[in-house]
Structure 1
Amino acid sequence: MILEIAWTTFIGSIVYGSTPYVWKGMQKSTQNSKLRKAFINGELYRKEKDSKIKVKPNIINTKINDKKMTFVFSIPKGVNPDDFIKKAYVFKQHFNDYIDLKVENKRGILNVYPKGLPTKFNYAYQVLSHRLPIMCGRSLEGSMFSFDLVENPHMLVAGETGSGKSSALRSILTTLIKSKNPDELRLLLGDLKRSEFHLFKKIEHVDGVYHSAGDIGLPLMKVKKEMMRRGDMLDEAEVNSIDELPNKPPYIIVCIDEVALLKKEHDIMDILEEISSIGRSLGVFLILSMQRPDAQLLDGKLKVNLTVRMGFKTADKINSKIIGTPGSEELDIPGRMLLRINSHLQEIQAPLLENNIAKKLLEPYKKSNVVQFQKEPDIMELFKE
């Protein structure tokens, strides 16, 4: 009778929440058990010689809340940490598709997100504290993820038609324009498909929208000349970055859509490579976009210096590997990307920004009295002799 009363009281306490620590302990035990099974099924352990003993990872810590589950585990000596990344699918099989795995030599951190990502949400401008804010989209944490292009210079955006790449570019440029004054940021845009950047032609921050190699060559030469001038300024002031100059010149972003069409333009590609190599300290940055990754273009210094990759839906594993976002071939939701910053890869849902909405957001930033069919757009004043 006493045992029955005790058991009834225990069950009631769980139902009515008076023993949350017991309930959380049961949750942790269940989830830790799943993780141990993942280690075994993925053969993520070390076998002792001449023995059946398996030295498995030790679960150091487990935290569970409404948004995510976090597991910290040790990596046994003799086990390749890269094997955990290669077999990330095992963790997805035991938990769900929405995981984030970080691995060091001796330790791994696995985050599991039960709620996943939204399949669609509309763009809304947010004030960001970064020097050059790149607003990416909704992360698995449930918040908007952004980064500073100054800290993580030069980015590649790639994805098939209909993958959401164009909307993401629209969001990125719109956020930059709304975040910075024209004397803080200048934009040079290459629209080689003549389909993406017409919205930005009359914007105060934009010094030109160019549609061919012949059009964009001269402005890029002037960017190169400006970089030399800025380098002299740094030498004279004995500083490492334009951010340290008393009269700081504006940041310059060269954004080119379908940059693969320029791969035979060696002079232009040399300038882009030079920007990727030395542009950061000089305040000059690249945002390059393409539908299909080009192995020849993305092979060398330029690829190495593009520290940020946004990989939307690709045709196959080969293409996703070229971009540097393995797994993007499996994405099937418009606006869904794999974002790689340096070596860290995470899944992001980019916001939807339609042309008509972007046009309204950009209206306050239009130049007045602009000639509509100007053959040779003016280059920024600082480029002039």
Structure 2
Amino acid sequence: MPVKGNQFKSNNFKDTGSAKGSVKAEKPSRPKVESVPSFGLKDGRIIKVGGLFFLVLSGYFLIAFTSYLFTWQEDQSYVLKANGGWHNLFKGQQELIDNGIKSPVDNWLGKFGALLSNQFMFEWFGVASFIFVVVFFIIGYRFLFKVRLFPISKTIAYALFGIVFFSIAIGFVHGFIVDYPHFLEGQFGFWSNRLIDAQIGRAGAAGLLVFAALTFLIIVYNIDFKLPEKKRPATTLPGFDDADDISEPYMGGGNVPIMPEMPFTPVEWPGRKSKLSQEGVLASTRYAENEVSEELEPVAKGPIFNVEKPINEPEHKPVTLMPEPSTETEIPLMVSDTRPNDVLSIEKEDLVTADDLVAQFGAFDPRLDLSSYKFPVLELLENYGSNKIAVNTEELEANKNKIVETLNHYNIEIDKIKATIGPTVTLYEIIPAPGVRISKIKNLEDDIALSLAALGIRIIAPMPGKGTIGIEVPNQHPEMVSMRSVLASEKFQATTMDLPIALGKTISNEIFIADLAKMPHLLMAGATGQGKSVGINAILVSLLYKKHPAELKFVLVDPKKVELTLFRKIERHFLAKLPDEADAIITDTKKVINTLNSLCIEMDQRYDLLKDAQVRNLKEYNAKFINRKLLPTEGHRFLPFIVLIVDEFADLMMTAGKEVEIPIARLAQLARAIGIHLIIATQRPSVNIITGTIKANFPARIAFRVQSKIDSRTILDSGGADQLIGRGDMLLSTGNDLIRLQCAFVDTPEVDKISDFIGAQRGYATAHLLPEYVGEGGEASAKDFDSENRDPMFEEAARLIVMHQQGSTSLIQRKLKLGYNRAGRIIDQLEAAGIVGPFEGSKAREVLIPDDYSLEQFLSNMDAKD
């Protein structure tokens, strides 16, 4: 039966202390207000007590079992006497002596220790019982210190197998010596062996134990059983000594071996490049990009060739290999000792697969470039607040009465009220009586806010996935959510997300972590001073605590010039910039346009690499590269994630407009699969700033407090952001759900400490260099062309361009194995010479010469003029 609102004016509610914490009326007819108790599972005290108990228990078992090994004979009369055993535990000393039982016992832990160890070691599992000590210690350590030594479920499963297996195995071996139960195997091991022996005999028992042991190793370690391979006769090239060994030194922390000093002339092969060098061994070129020495001096860039054996030619003549068409992971190579005109002819074939390369060199590890890098420690962050909920029962009761009273004034009856307490907001969920229209309650938002005298009342009618109506009421004493408490949580430490960002806590006081790689882009908006910059810092800090510099790069755009300057110290570790820029943090609008277009070029290049690798996204590509199925000699490289952060997008739109919107829209539409993700923030979420094209490609949006419902609808497509209370209070829209969060707080001094910690470590020579971009008015002209200073690869690049009829920098880069900057200069020279047309954005340049014959005439005329 519905309950009238005025029945709730009495204060006879009590805290029941349930797990979720509820404030209930003594009479069942009254609605219930549930809250979180101050003691229980929520704050982890019971978990800590349980962990301490298991640690003490493991120590107790260890001492009792160890003592039993030395004192078991003296305690036999106490633990094994007729009518003895556990019955003796509470008998007095004189009573034991009268029954002919020695007292006291010699076990180091007294009577209980003697009985306990006898029960486990003699009557049950023997010395295998020591495994219980390990299990209790791992569980206790996990609960008390919140540090996972081993997964608890696997620990218990392996321990049960170990206890049974070792008890039976020891009993099997010991059975050859004695024919009675002993504490080494326990009665379980002894009688189990008797049973198995009676069924399948001693030989069968031995086979069963071997089978069980091998099955365990296969399940746990996935061991392989391989027959010894037949050794193939080695092929010795001229000047090639089988005794030579170059497998000792490694470059870059161990990814590839360094070849001994020797002249080596790489040979360009027509068509697809072979993946092997001499004797079927990978000639994997690894570039020492952005490496610096301990004195932070740059290492000279250049290819490092990996071969299994060095080729010491007396005359150091170049060697040309003639590969056949190759597959992706298995390539035939023919080598002969006959050398007409210094070219090795076809005589013998050998095969090397990617699995062989991984077995020989190991998987490629991108982190070895900076193998000494240390992740930031939690001590760099401050622990603001007590992480305890400050809302008490009296506040819950008062708010409940005011809500019920207000609804009663409008003849709205309710059946139940439940409260969920968050760090800054408490959610009251009400179940209206049958027949009450939801819209009627929704329209009372201002009336309820007036009765509670609170700022930021927000009504959710109905709650998604629930049959309730939510009323969010700010707490009188909001609790600050510190970044340290969020990053120290198990949820963040154990996450397997590609780009985890710790945003804060929900209204149910749960830590919220999202994966930027799956968003895949994020749009942030909020009025000045409402927490937008803190939110950006929280995202950056989350990624810095989780990713290695080789795996992630930031492109930071800061038109205000003051918000992101602290991250300049990590330039050589995490930042990316254009090749000729002095500052990695971009503040000039023109440079922003060039950087965005450079990212579009990077996106196109990455898609070309994915196409060549026959994969669909960055994760599959990097996995293939790590397993050495893609070779640097073919232009492939490990691709880090790139996160573009624009702190004030409105200023860019006002000054550049379409020049900014077009590349942003391209990146938002296409860049997800190749690991480029955008975070765009603005103070003015108006429709001329956040256009429809941009909104369509940013399904994930964060709204801090805004000034009007119109701004809220612009950013979220729904109201609510205008009802937030500020100071980090925000709404996250992921397309389907709208989640209210309290943003984790990270202060400027904390960011400064983290930047200093990272910046003080050894880094790359420079920031990560983006592809070079030349905007309008920056192209080379014919009068700038100097045929005497043209690149040595100019003619070869011209023939390549004309043959493919595609004026692309990336084509020159891939086919001629050149760096992007050099390929860009060559394409500028080709344009200046009149071979290709001008730059046309993301499109390939037009080729102005139709065929090879015309090109040869053109080049002959050019040489004649010289």
TM-score per shorter chain, which class?
A: 0.7 to 0.9
Aligned to 2:574: 205
TM-score using structure 1 length? 0.73
Rounded Cα–Cα distance in structure 2 between residues aligned with 1:16 and 1:72: 21
Aligned to 1:8: none
Q: Is the 8 A contact 2:558 2:648 kept in 1?
A: yes
Aligned to 2:671: 279
Correspondent of 1:216 among 592, 604, 608: 592
Do residues 161 (structure 1) and 528 (structure 2) align? yes
Task: Note the 1:132-147 alignment, pairs <5 A.
Answer: 132-147=499-514
Rounded Cα–Cα distance in structure 1 between residues aligned with 2:712 and 2:659: 28
Aligned to 1:255: 645
Q: Is the 8 A contact 2:420 2:508 kept in 1?
A: no
Following TM superposition, by how much is the alpha carbon of 1:84 offset from its aligned partner in structure 2, in angstroms?
Answer: 9.1
Correspondent of 2:697 among 279, 296, 305: 305
Correspondent of 1:362 among 755, 780, 794: 755
Aligned to 1:294: 686
- Look up the SS of the partner of 1:215 in the other structure: helix
Q: Deviations over 1:271-329 (max 9, x none)?
A: 11111111211211110111122311212221121122221222222222222262222
Aligned to 1:332: 725
- Look up the SS of the partner of 2:745 in the other structure: coil
Change (3 A) 1:201 1:66: closer
Change (3 A) 1:84 1:17: closer
- 5+ residue gaps, structure 2, are 1-12, 34-399, 577-583, 626-637, 773-818, 821-866
Rounded Cα–Cα distance in structure 2 between residues aligned with 1:294 and 1:330: 18
Greater Cα radius of gyration, structure 1 or 2? 2
Rounded Cα–Cα distance in structure 2 between residues aligned with 1:15 and 1:329: 35
Counterpart amino acid of 1:341?
A: T
Correspondent of 1:123 among 479, 483, 490: 483
Taking only aligned residues, the RMSD between alpha carbons, in angstroms, comes to 4.4
Following TM superposition, by how much is the alpha carbon of 1:232 offset from its aligned partner in structure 2, in angstroms?
Answer: 2.2
Q: Is the 8 A contact 1:254 1:286 kept in 2?
A: yes
Aligned to 1:239: 615
Following TM superposition, by how much is the alpha carbon of 1:240 offset from its aligned partner in structure 2, in angstroms?
Answer: 2.7
Q: Is the 8 A contact 1:75 1:107 kept in 2?
A: no
Change (3 A) 1:214 1:18: closer
Q: Deviations over 1:127-170 (max 9, x none)?
A: 35221112211210112212111121211221222112111111
Q: Is the 8 A contact 2:31 2:417 kept in 1?
A: no
Rounded Cα–Cα distance in structure 1 between residues aligned with 2:478 and 2:769: 40
Task: Note the 1:10-29 alignment, pairs <5 A.
Answer: none
- Look up the SS of the partner of 2:713 in the other structure: helix
Rounded Cα–Cα distance in structure 2 between residues aligned with 1:277 and 1:199: 30
Aligned to 2:563: 196
Q: Is the 8 A contact 1:159 1:314 kept in 2?
A: yes
Aligned to 1:315: 707
Q: Deviations over 1:159-204 (max 9, x none)?
A: 2221121111111111111211111111000000111000111211
Q: Is the 8 A contact 1:42 1:90 kept in 2?
A: no
Count how many residue pairs are aligned between Structure 1 and Structure 2. 351
Counterpart amino acid of 2:676?
A: V
- Look up the SS of the partner of 1:209 in the other structure: coil
Change (3 A) 1:256 1:367: farther
- Look up the SS of the partner of 1:280 in the other structure: coil
Rounded Cα–Cα distance in structure 2 between residues aligned with 1:74 and 1:224: 57
Rounded Cα–Cα distance in structure 2 between residues aligned with 1:232 and 1:16: 64
Following TM superposition, by how much is the alpha carbon of 1:114 offset from its aligned partner in structure 2, in angstroms?
Answer: 8.0
- 5+ residue gaps, structure 1, are 1-13, 44-55, 371-376
Aligned to 1:373: none
Change (3 A) 1:267 1:313: same
- Look up the SS of the partner of 1:310 in the other structure: strand
**Greater Cα offset, 179-188 or 223-232:** 223-232
Change (3 A) 1:65 1:163: closer
Larger RCO (CA under 8 A, 6+ residues apart): 1
Change (3 A) 1:90 1:42: farther
TM-score using structure 2 length? 0.35
Following TM superposition, by how much is the alpha carbon of 1:86 offset from its aligned partner in structure 2, in angstroms?
Answer: 6.1
Following TM superposition, by how much is the alpha carbon of 1:123 offset from its aligned partner in structure 2, in angstroms?
Answer: 2.3
Rounded Cα–Cα distance in structure 2 between residues aligned with 1:238 and 1:28: 66
Following TM superposition, by how much is the alpha carbon of 1:338 offset from its aligned partner in structure 2, in angstroms?
Answer: 2.0
Change (3 A) 1:236 1:99: farther
